Structure 1
Amino acid sequence: MLMFSSDSSDKEDELLLVIAIEEEQAAAARRSHQRGSMPGHAVIDRHHREGAARLYNDYFTDNPVYGDVLFRRRFRMTRRLFLRIAAAVEEHDTWFWQGRDATGKLGLSLLQKMTAVIWQLAYGVSSDAVDEYVRIGASTAMLALRKFVQAIVEVFGDEYLRAPNEADTARLLAEGERCGFPGMLGSIDFMHWVWKNCPKVWHGAYTGHTRKPSIVLEAVASYELWIWHAFFGMPVSLNDINVLHRSNLFTRLTDGTAPTVSYSINGNRYDMGYYLGDGIYPEWATIVKAIPAPRGNKSIHFSAMRASVRKDVERAFGVLQARFAIVRGPARVWDQSTLHNIMTACVIMHNMIIEDERGSASTVQVFDYMGEPSKVHRNADEGVLHYVEATQAIRIRAMHRQLRDDLS
């Protein structure tokens, strides 16, 4: 214990010495808890191996604690599909391999990384919300999310986010005719995804009537809620018409690679399929809108039937948001590329879940992937001429009205 002398200068020196000793002790205590390469960053021993063992015993053993029903509810997909995706992602990106650090300590397992990602997508939680159970840090969970959605798009995008081939088109046309709409290929609409962390410089472009920055997803869905077309990334300041002009929905029609469509209504022959859209869409030959202010039983019945069938795309949006809450709540990611991959990956997995579970419904058709359609080879002049003619044919207003009158 320090003793103070009666001299005031000595007291001041001793007081400064005590303060210096206390500050050094406090700094030493901080250093003892730091143990990291970054100042103020504490290294946490999360016991990865114990977390991996608990996760495996809870969900992935032959006799798990939580069975198939709870797995499907919590992971939004069956265990069979989860393991298929995990194997494909692990083969595509070596980051998902389980390795060892510089000290030889075993790192996170594939199942831990996958579970952290799926729960972020399914529940829309922050990246550190899964730490307590999965035993994965926030930065690692966010990195896993970015790498996972990119892998899903690259591995499964061509198969599960493809345009309809010949066989697909035939089935869609058959279903449309069964519903009373021969020539229908699906329903078209778009949804908003609020962008919470939109950079200030982009607020004006991404803000519309909702007064919040948002990004638009344009989609086409069929009766079984399969999403055949997804065009994502346009600012919400653009409406349905502007987004339609920028999307690639009718690209195959204009370049001549679309499957052949031929049907007859009331003696009139048509060679282009159509989509059911709401009132804001233009009067094109490939979009059937409602009759404004319908009069008479015939027009009223047609409007009611068209509205009931067009609900397919609305239902698809609802199921997509229910399965993956991350696209229902505000987006917290800063960059557009990651947002695009997240939305696209959710749409792809939505279609994969439909395919995986379609065996429980005998009425659902099977859509087989047969690769991309063959290209039509034309010289430059023929290609330009066909593009101009096809674009003009798509936008004939008289054909739109004739088609709507024949359907009604």
Structure 2
Amino acid sequence: MELPRIISVDDHVIEPAHLFERWLPKKYQDRGPKPLTAGIGELEYVAGKYQITMDPEGPPTDWWIYEDLKFPYKRNIAAVGFDRDDMTLEGITRAEMRPGCHDPKERLKDMDLNHVEASLCFPTFPRFCGQTFAERKDKEVALACVRAYNDFMVEEWCGDSGGRLIPLCIIPLWDVELAVAEIKRNAARGVRAVTFSEIPTHLGLPSIHSGYWDPFFAACEETGTGVHMHIGSSSQMPAASPDAPPAVQASLSFNNAMASMMDFLFSGVLVKFPRLKLAYSEGQMGWIPYALERADDVWREHRAWGGVRDLIPEPPSTYYYRQIWACFFRDMHGVTDAALDVIGRDNACFETDYPHVDSTFPETKQVALEHMKGIDDEVVYKLMRGNAIRLLELDFDKDRAR
């Protein structure tokens, strides 16, 4: 099989130390994030949360210091180039990272090594949907930081890539009208992707059922901006017990995507905004067939007492096939013919998760080929790039019917 070059819908950028010095207006820089290299203490995992301290005697680590926040980069989020057993939660400096983590020109070289033509990258220091800025007290500076990050993303990270690095922007989560303005500001310069929380109530924000986010969804629909939700963008990961090891969270991470998708399917949001596009990043998709079956069964059997009789006029799967994209990279169960019959051959995209510990780099082509065994060439094209082109409204493959 000749595998098409991949368009990865979920990778990550490690922010360069100069980001806010270069992109944050001077009047905010004293109060904005500052880079620092300092020792890190032993990291503890307590009740599902990481406890991190500075230690002058500890291993050198690159940090961001911002108001009361001390944010270190850890080896598991810049894992490419390390052996599996060395992909730990220890601190790391940019000098120790593979340069493609934070240098866009080096990233393009690594994409060439990895059979990847284009890549959409989530933030690291701002966290998956900009929680870092939403949690700070000085919202004037926080808004300036959101805009600075987006300017960096569009103009520096993606600017000289010839379209191969695809901009993914964040919003000021604490104010929906400011979020609308930021969507429109970025859409005017060609951005077609924004990151959002899978479960905003976990961040202390209004739910998608409340109507609060409707102006945001309307702006995304109007501008063709897809809403991308990464696992962990609710700042919580599922675990069975508070003292369970992190491996339990890692194994259950798809749970957040499943919960979020059910929330949207029964919210009426997709009925109200029929051209809104949702994408679930790093959620995998082998769970989707049963989730859709259950959603449709509940709608059919329980809609009267379940509160959705007048809210959801058609089976929930109707809106899934019309408006939702799944994402996978290691999910053999999700790419069987039987699974794809239900997941939808037009509803799934591939990712590489560079440079995280889950990344398939530098073996992405082999991993993808293993998953695509026995799959029709046209479907392979859709899964590897065609569906991402539709989702992100890319200029690739213009001569090919979509």
Same fold per superposition (TM over 0.5): no
Whichever of the two has the greater Rg, that structure is 1
TM-score by length of 2: 0.27
Structure ranking higher in helix proportion: 1
Higher RCO, Cα 8 Å, sep 6+: 2
TM-score by length of 1: 0.26
Structure ranking higher in strand proportion: 2
